[in-house]
Amino acid sequence: MAKAIMKKLLAAAGAMTMMIVPGNASLPAATANSADNAPDSYHDDWLHVNENAEIVDMYGNPVWMTGCNWFGYNVTTQCFDGVWSRNMHEMLNEMADHGFNLMRVPMSTQILLQWKNHDPDPYMVKINEWKNPELTVEGIEGGKPKYSFDIWNQAVEWCRENGIKIMIDIHCATTASNGHQYPLWYDSNYSYDDWLEALNWVADYYKDDDTIIAIDLKNEPHGKNDGQGMAKWDDSKDDNNWKYAAERGANAVLSANPNLLVMVEGIEVYPKFEEGEDWDSQPVDYARYPWSPFYGAWWGGNFRGARKYPVNLGKYQSQLVYSPHDYGPLVWEQDWFKKDFTRETLLDDYWRDSWAYLIEEKISPLLMGEWGGFIDKEHDPTGDNTKWMTILRDYMIEKRIHHTFWCFNENSGDTGGLLTNDFQKWDEDKYALVKPALWQDENGKFISLDHQVPMGKSGNGISLSDYYKGSSGPKVEPTTPTTEPTTTTEAPKTILYGDANCSGDVKMNDAVLIMQAVANPDLYDVGGTAESALTPDGYKNADCYDPGSSLTSKDALSVQKALIGTITLPETE
């Protein structure tokens, strides 16, 4: 596709995507694009989940989010760890040049509300002012550090320049190095409502910047009814029901920005229910009941409840992604490691029933929010940790599981990180293990999640548009039809305006299909070669803005406006 045409399509889609801000919020003049303007680089990269449980861009092209975690904003450094010894910009450049297209950033409810309320930093921001003059008030070596929120927004800008997208992770309620030890999404300092307020604020603040592309609602809900609090998963509205809390948290996010991906993690345990039992009937006297009444899992890794009680986001369902965590035997010698384990034994003993069924049965895409660990040759002569990492890596490649490696930091006590030597050098052995699971084309070029910005500064990265229009792509190619398209001879069907895919209801997938048909008619318009192309009836349904006119991005916008309740379909001029 010619560059000029691609720019026009990006601009049209960018304008359509940004306009679905709910409520009466006014839009900056710079975002009011038309097909003749330059593309709006702040609104063209939002992602959605399609009917095949794939995460896709605005044209329906599948993407693969392959990133890493960098913590620090969840603890009292109030900045990325390691900036105490190195330049932040330099490290972000290196992350991009090494091919990580998504950065998961642990934060706390406390720091988000601090920023929302413009409260002063309660702790000294820990940076090396001599090596980070850009992060000082004076802008000189040795100057006073900027406010933590200003430093964060500088990091967002540098990520944008590098093609790195960001997922904010609510790691804990109170800022603390051990904050993740608390089992629930609230504690004695910050309430359930505080958590919802923080989620809503951060989603709203960045609703016009698709650098922030996803939010992980809460890191590792856990607990096993031992008096410390327990996250459960059922159909109740109890305060500790994570399924219900996730639905509320997602609504807080998506009511502010309906384009964000929302990550919902699992819990720790799920009861072995028997007839007439519920969560409260499980025995907790382990001296009397030495057998476990629960199916166990890593914190955040148990999705057994999602089979019977799936998370329901209603009109926002296309933004839901389940996000398990998984670790190896050097973190804890789980029962499934106490044998000569293989992929098959891991699936049979733990993975499949805990989380893998979601991707194998195409119920939902998965993003492995945390995985990683030490390379055994330095820590364990048996090699089981490296063996586990390799098995999981290869499974994620095969199943196209999105992931964020734990972690970029070297100062994670039970896993280590990608950097070593006080953040000065890369652990080349560990990076070599991770690298095959980073999104690359057949020429080894790292692929950005940004349609316009290539991955990194080294020249070994490409943009998403480059991938899908260049010689190294596309992976969704037009093919020559084997037969001429035919029209139905059945009696005309009742028009359900907005239902482009003829599923019987109107969802975000319909808006995505309309944009696909507008952007790539050879594939997705009536007679197109894609399996999901519009049918003649689907075209009539899709023509929901000024029915009888040609199909345009305005029809997709009308669908989205109907989904957030601002209009009813059809929409007329």
Burial code of 493-526, b = ≥16 C-beta within 10 A, e = fewer?
eeebbbbbbbeeebbbbbbbbbbbbbbbbebbbb
CB of 392 within 8 A of CB of 53?
no
pLDDT of 494 reads 77
Mean pLDDT within 371-392 = 87
* Fold: same for 66-464 and 495-573: no
- pLDDT digits 0-9 by tens, 196-229: 999 999 999 999 999 999 999 999 999 987 667 8
- Please give, one letter per residue, the 3-state secondary structure of 80-117: CCCCCCCCHHHHHHHHHHCCCCEEEEEEEHHHHHHHHC
Taking 80 as the threshold, does the pLDDT of residue 368 lie above it?
Answer: yes
- Cα 193 from Cα 173, distance rounded (Å): 11
Taking a C-beta distance cutoff of 8 angstroms, is the pair 423, 71 a contact?
no
- Quote the distance between the C-alpha of residue 222 and its chain's center: 20
Q: Where are the alpha helices (DSSP H) in 221-271?
A: 242-254
| Angstrom distance (rounded) from CA 37 to CA 25 | 23
CA 463, distance to chain mean position in Å, is 19
Percent of the chain at pLDDT above 90?
A: 66
What is the architecture, at CATH level 2, of domain 66-464?
Alpha-Beta Barrel (3.20)
Tell me what the pLDDT averaged over the chain comes to. Answer: 86
Question: Catalytic one among 220, 247, 268, 410?
Answer: 220
Least confident of 153-162, 240-249, 258-267, 551-560: 551-560
pLDDT at 241 over 70: yes
Q: Give residue limits of the domains in the chain.
A: 1-44, 66-464, 495-573
Beta bridge partners of 340: none
The confidence band for 34, taking pLDDT boundaries of 50, 70 and 90, is very low
Query: Contact 125/79 with Cβ under 8 angstroms?
Result: yes
| Residue 571: band (very low, low, confident or very high) from pLDDT cuts 50, 70, 90 | confident
Amino acid occupying residue 418: L
> How does strand 165-172 pair with strand 425-426?
unpaired
Under 8 Å between Cβ of 144 and 136: yes
- pLDDT of 275 > 80? The answer is no
Cα separation, 31 vs 513, whole angstroms: 23
The first and second tokens of residue 445, run together, are: 């070029």
Residues 268, 370, 410, 571: which is the catalytic one?
Answer: 370
Catalytic: 220?
yes
CATH 1.10.1330.10 is right for the domain spanning 495-573? yes
Strand, helix or coil for residue 292: coil
Token look-up 């057949």 returns 442
User: What is the per-residue pLDDT across 88-136, written as a single tens digit (0 to 9) for each?
Assistant: 999 999 999 999 999 999 999 999 999 999 999 999 999 999 999 999 9
pLDDT digits (tens, 9 = 90+) for 324-365: 999 999 999 999 999 999 999 999 999 999 999 999 999 999
Q: Is 265 a catalytic residue?
A: no
**DSSP annotation of 6:** H
pLDDT tens-place string over residues 503-539: 888 888 888 888 888 877 777 787 777 778 888 788 8
Question: Hey, is 151 helix, strand or coil?
Answer: helix
What does the CA dihedral 289, 290, 291, 294 come to, rounded to 10 degrees?
Answer: 70
